[in-house]
A and B are shown apart, each in its own frame.
Chain A
Amino acid sequence: MVTQLALHYAAGRAAAAEPAATAAPAADAIPLALSLEPVPFAQTRVWEEVAQPGGSGALVSLSVSRELPGHWLAADEYGAVFLTDDRGGRWTRVLAGRAQDVTSDEQLLLEAEALSEDSFEGVDAADVDAESAAVDRANETTSQALEDHRNAAPTLPPAVWFDRAGVAFASRQDEVWRSTDDGETWSRVDGDGGATAFARVGETLVAGGSNGIRASLDDGASWLDVDGAVDGHTVREISVFAGKFHAATDGGLFESPDALRWTRVLSAPDMPLVSVIADPNYPDGYWLVAERGLYRTDDSGQSFSRFGNQPLKGLRKMVHVGDTGHLLAISVDGVWESMDGGVKWTPASRLLSDPDVRALDFEGGEPVIATAKGVWRMIRPEQLAEATPAVRASMPLALTVQTALTRSGMDGDMLSLAQRSGLLPLIPTLTVQVKYGWQAGRDADFQVLSAAGSRDTAFSATAALCWGACSVSSSYYSYDSESYDVQQMVDDGQLTVIDGNVYDSTAVVAAAANVSQSLSTYRVSTAQQISEAWITRARLLDEPLSGAGTRDQVMHALAVQEIDARLDAWTNGRFSTWQPESP
């Protein structure tokens, strides 16, 4: 299955520019620039932290307005909601969070301490038995308090969501708040249950919380409980595709044709799910994301199978980005990216110093995330140092990488080795034979006493094309044990040693594939090293040096020179001799 899908995506790349006819609304909502050659974010972008929203708690939710560029909402764990209208340049707190003088852990410790003190009240320290009984009581009461704490219903994390036409929602504890002016002012619209996930289809708004599904038909002014199978489960995400609502919950997957009647998808994995994502390029396919892995169906949910080559820890959300098979996932361990529909994952966390990623959204096709400590956006490295003339005058990163990867021995021509080797059986062998001969003969007849002679010359040329085995040969099998001299066989051309591996000389394709793979790996590694060096250089050039001592200035200059020299080594000296073209 995995291989089949990988092949499907490999084949699908060529058609990536064609918009999928059955694209899911959730995916439609993300504005994307489709390209013929899908490029991973990790190769062309780095993370940049924007201004801190300013709350005291960790951020847990983020939403980007589809209609107003640069308008983002963020919520922290205490329910404080922040708004920015300039892509995170400046944040304003638009809803205050609940009081948080102590954390829940600290509160628990204080409670335990008070319970212990109560147990010892009035106990005479000299009375050993009484003191022992007090210790037992203290242990018992604090254990009970701890147990109660563990069994307490989990607190629903706050959530924010930009809806349409200036409407936004914020969920805190068991309340839903609404804004009708793009997040500037808020009013409470529902006090009967919070929500962690929102979705809209037409005039129907659906929200999922800690106790199932709620719905609104008046733009969220009032909410109604939807009784059904989802009750009792915490909804983590609601997606609408293939004419159905899908809810990923802590009790598995549920679906509904109309948001009112919900049924559990029994074939789905029986485990807490965090995301359900449509595959716009495969009408019957979608993914399920659990905290510890990925599942996929290709038959509209009749069967699911575990997916992906590597375990992904602490997944929180996944989205389909737009190009065929291009997925982005966030987790407790950073941002991950797959270009083949989830088979292989690579980190997309360059310059992201806080890997605990809580929320993901998109602004103009570029990812924006909220981590526990701040908000980050993905940018092209060139944007890092837009204001620095020295960086602007340098060879751009993309060109630097391209120059390094097209050096002799590294270029993409080599990458098509295996592909071209597949053509070999179709190419014939050409044999040309030129023959020149001369012949002289004489016959004598003694009976009639006559003699006759002849002299002939002949020239012939033959050209032959031959496919496959071009000479007749016979073989037989010998069952006697024989010893093989590998070196001799290499010398005789029967075997070939490439990169330490021994191949049958006729197995050119296998050797070519191996060499191609090795080259691809090195190209990726080189591209990463170059990107990091380039970005470090840009940062160094962007550093203000005013006020620095002479020694610091020298070391700074040497650091830049060293990176220049390394970039020159990768580009055969072209980095430092590059001149920007005149406009």
Chain B
Amino acid sequence: MTRIFALSTISALSALLTCAMLATPAFAGDFQSAEAVLANFKSEPTVNDIQQMVLEYSKTDNRYVEGWLAASKSAALLPEVKVQYDYDNGYGQDFDYTDGTATSETLSGSGIDLKNAVTAYAKWSLSDLVMSSERIRVISETQDVVKLRDKILDEATRLYFDRRRLQVDILMNTGDVKTQIKNELRLQELTAQLDAYTGGRFSKALKKK
């Protein structure tokens, strides 16, 4: 097992080394302007693309926040509803007593009484239209989402430009072979980190373009 791992590591490094040696890096003097350098990366996703991917993957897009806030507001319009059905079946008999004892009772009349009722209750806590603990909880959660969104967008943006600066260094051939291998590894690391923030969408977009 260890041997296989060692072999695979060696072969991966060899591949990197070969890539680094076979690559035909440009030199700083080959580029006349910053635009000419940056034009080499036109086929890659832009930073705006990355930010959209991050928002999509993390579900922190503004529309979610707006949806929660709107739902928490409109939720108070719905009342607390109660429906009640009452059924009352009454039956009664009248007796006459001639000598005051139970043995002398005579059925003199009877009556039945059937009652049905359906009652619907609706209750609105009007104060919930202004503020409620649920709404405060939603607001608190949306704040957390905004903070999270700011944080991950900031981090993804930083990674994107760290990666781009590194690409410029690689393109403009600053460093020996060892440095180039280090740069390649770092590039892969940054790509993997961006993939982590975008759920793999970044690499997929790289392949597509």
Contacts and interface: CB of A to CB of B under 8 A. Distances in A.
A437 B164 contact: no
Contacts of A29: none
A440 B116 CA distance: 9
B111 A441 contact: yes
B126 A430 contact: yes
A409 B145 contact: yes
B153 to A, nearest CB: 4
B190 to A, nearest CB: 14
B186 to A, nearest CB: 16
B24 interface: no
B38 A414 contact: no
Contacts of A570: 150
B136 A417 contact: yes
Contact of B133 (A445, A511, A519): A511
Interface in A259-292: none
A324 B108 CA distance: 92
Contacts of B113: 439-441
B117 A437 contact: yes
Interface stretch (A149-157, A302-310, A474-482, A498-506): A498-506
B109 A414 contact: no
B94 to A, nearest CB: 8
A553 B112 CA distance: 100
Interface stretch (B9-17, B154-162, B191-199): B154-162
Q: Which residue of A428, A549, A565, A573 has the most chain B CB atoms within 10 A of its CB atom?
A: A565
B127 interface: yes
B114 interface: yes
Interface stretch (A182-190, A203-211, A379-387, A418-426): A418-426
B119 interface: yes
A294 B144 CA distance: 38
B168 A554 contact: yes
Given A444-B111, A549-B28, A550-B31, A508 B131 contact: yes
B47 interface: yes
A300 interface: no
Contacts of B133: 496, 498, 503, 505, 508, 511
A515 B147 CA distance: 13
B110 A522 contact: no
B51 interface: yes
A545 to B, nearest CB: 9
A565 B157 contact: yes
Interface in B124-160: 124-127, 129-133, 136-137, 139-140, 142-147, 149-150, 153-154, 157-158, 160
Contacts of A409: 65, 69, 139, 142-143, 145-146
A216 interface: no
Nearest to B137: A498
Interface string A543-556: 00000011101111
A445 B114 CA distance: 18
Contacts of B130: 420-421, 423-424, 427
A444 B116 contact: no
Interface in A173-216: none
Given A424-B131, A496-B137, A505-B133, A566 B154 contact: yes
B78 to A, nearest CB: 13
A498 B132 CA distance: 12
Nearest to A426: B127
Contacts of A447: 96, 108-109
A558 B158 CA distance: 11
A509 B130 CA distance: 12
B114 A569 contact: no
B173 to A, nearest CB: 11
Nearest to B31: A550
B56 interface: no
B177 to A, nearest CB: 20
B16 to A, nearest CB: 24
Interface in A377-414: 407-410, 414
B131 A432 contact: no
Contacts of B96: 447
B120 interface: yes
A497 B147 CA distance: 19
A1 interface: no
A407 B146 contact: yes
B178 interface: no
Contacts of A568: 48, 51
Nearest to A445: B109
Given A551-B28, A565-B47, A429 B123 contact: yes
A434 interface: yes
A39 B164 CA distance: 40
Contacts of B33: 550, 553
B37 to A, nearest CB: 5
B31 to A, nearest CB: 5
B133 to A, nearest CB: 4
B62 interface: yes
A562 B157 contact: yes
Interface in A485-514: 496-499, 503, 505, 508, 511-512
Nearest to B126: A427
B102 interface: no
Interface string B5-36: 00000000000000000000000100111101
B34 A441 contact: no
Contacts of B112: 441-442
Given A505-B133, A565-B157, 5 more contacts: A408-B66, A429-B126, A498-B140, A565-B51, A569-B149
9 contacts: A421-B130, A439-B114, A441-B114, A442-B112, A447-B109, A555-B165, A562-B161, A565-B47, A569-B51
Going nearest first, the 4 A-B pairs with the smallest beta carbon separation are A437-B117, A409-B142, A443-B111, A569-B153
Interface of B: 28, 31-34, 36-38, 47-48, 51, 62, 65-66, 69, 79, 86, 90, 96, 107-127, 129-133, 136-137, 139-140, 142-147, 149-150, 153-154, 157-158, 160-161, 164-165, 168, 172, 174
